[in-house]
């Protein structure tokens, strides 16, 4: 029941916090305004070992755990959600599938660069007609002459078009089967498609509302051919495997959202102590003070939720429902705190170079990406027997 961090985790959190404040924060507004991917920041995070936090040392990782990654994400997201989601997606959605389901040969080939931050990987799940309903995947892969031949399209894929993107793991229909009721169902597998594969095209980057320094593209596959050995995990188990990846990823996203919520608190406290109206700091006005107090309560609650989910996972206990609750609570906390922080800042909160303005634009996707609020509610309701 102890929710205090041990010394190792606390030291990591403090180190990443200092890095975020001293290195990331000063350049965040520039990267955001220019819609510029922060290659230099990514390289420095790689040197710090952040991309390898939850991976074993035998594959170049730091030998840590999911909580270590979550703590890093929370501290970075306080100042820059684009950098935080770059790290989260690179680890949870990019490298983790290789680590969890890859053969030893696949791990040796791709993991060292991914866990070092020298390369990034994308997670090709979402399609124009298959988002929350990922089982509606239409991208196909067929065997031909010892190869997989892929045709289809993916949307909103993070880290898929950078100069250091090495691969995208793609869900594709590889056959059909029957469910327990005798109904026909798609067999979905996951296949690793390296960058530069002929027939694999990365579309123009999206012009997004937020996360402007994060890399996000649509992808298309037309007669894209990769070796049969690029199958990741068992054939027909790709959808189930990625659902398990998403369960863990929701804890990481909750940590990121908690950081965003906390960042809004910290910015609001600072501004409320500096800005004066009617002869005194606005933080002395009860309306402002109470607003910020509610913001802190949301951030605290979100943190406890993701700590709980992470501790259950690390203890080998069921955590799926707690992960959904953490994602739900933290995503809403980030959005609510961003709105309230903008109100505290007044006109300055409506200026894009303001950190709270960036949080206001960035936080909305935390109620959508990696499982919408409605999906989390559905998962919790199912657990209640509804």
**Interatomic CA distance for residues 326 and 294, integer angstroms:** 18
**Interatomic CA distance for residues 115 and 125, integer angstroms:** 21
**Interatomic CA distance for residues 140 and 144, integer angstroms:** 13
Burial 40-70, CB ≥16 within 10 A → b, else e: ebbeebbebbbbbbbbeeebbbbebebbbbb
Give residues with Cβ within 8 angstroms of 147, minimum separation 6.
Answer: 225, 226, 227, 228
Question: Two tokens at 300?
Answer: 């605290």
Query: Inter-axis angle of helices 286-314 and 66-77, to 10 degrees?
Result: 160
Is 266 one of the annotated active-site residues of the chain?
no
**Interatomic CA distance for residues 172 and 125, integer angstroms:** 9
Question: Two tokens at 205?
Answer: 């980057």
Q: Which of 274, 284, 370, 374 is catalytic?
A: 370
CA angle 381, 383, 386 (to 5 degrees): 45
Question: Two tokens at 371?
Answer: 């499982």
Question: Two tokens at 224?
Answer: 């894209």
Residues designated as active site: 370
């Amino acid at each position: 029941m102890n929710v205090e961090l041990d010394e190792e985790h606390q030291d990591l959190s403090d180190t990443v916090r200092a890095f975020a404040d001293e290195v990331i924060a000063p350049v965040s507004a520039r990267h955001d305004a220019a819609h510029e991917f922060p290659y230099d920041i990514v390289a420095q995070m790689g040197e710090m070992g952040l991309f390898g936090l939850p991976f074993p040392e035998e594959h170049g990782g730091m030998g840590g755990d999911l909580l270590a990654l979550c703590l890093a994400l929370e501290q970075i997201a306080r100042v820059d959600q684009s950098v935080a989601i770059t790290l989260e997606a690179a680890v949870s959605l990019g490298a983790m599938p290789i680590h969890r389901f890859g053969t030893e040969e696949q791990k040796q080939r791709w993991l060292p660069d991914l866990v070092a931050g020298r390369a990034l990987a994308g997670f090709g799940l979402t399609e124009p007609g298959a988002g929350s309903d990922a089982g509606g995947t239409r991208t196909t892969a067929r065997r031909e002459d010892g190869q997989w031949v892929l045709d289809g399209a993916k949307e909103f894929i993070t880290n898929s078009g950078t100069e250091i993107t090495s691969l995208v793991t793609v869900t594709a229909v590889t056959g059909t089967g029957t469910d327990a009721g005798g109904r026909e169902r798609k067999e979905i597998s996951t296949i690793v498609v390296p960058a530069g594969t002929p027939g694999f095209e990365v579309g123009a980057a999206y012009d997004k509302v937020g996360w402007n320094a994060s890399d996000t593209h649509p992808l298309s596959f037309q007669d894209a051919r990769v070796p049969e050995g690029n199958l990741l995990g068992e054939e027909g188990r790709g959808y189930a495997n990625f659902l398990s990846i998403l369960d863990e990823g929701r804890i990481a996203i909750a940590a990121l959202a908690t950081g965003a919520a906390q960042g809004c608190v910290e910015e609001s406290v600072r501004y409320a102590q500096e800005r004066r109206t009617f002869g005194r700091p606005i933080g002395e006005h009860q309306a402002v003070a109470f607003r910020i107090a509610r913001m802190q309560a949301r951030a605290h609650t979100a943190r406890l939720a993701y700590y709980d989910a992470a501790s259950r996972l690390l203890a080998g206990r069921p955590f799926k429902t707690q992960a959904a609750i953490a994602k739900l609570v933290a995503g809403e906390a980030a959005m609510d705190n961003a709105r309230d922080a903008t109100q505290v800042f007044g006109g300055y909160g409506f200026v894009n170079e303001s950190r709270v303005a960036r949080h206001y634009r960035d936080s909305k996707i935390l109620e959508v990406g990696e499982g919408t609020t409605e999906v989390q509610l559905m998962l919790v309701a199912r657990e209640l027997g509804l």
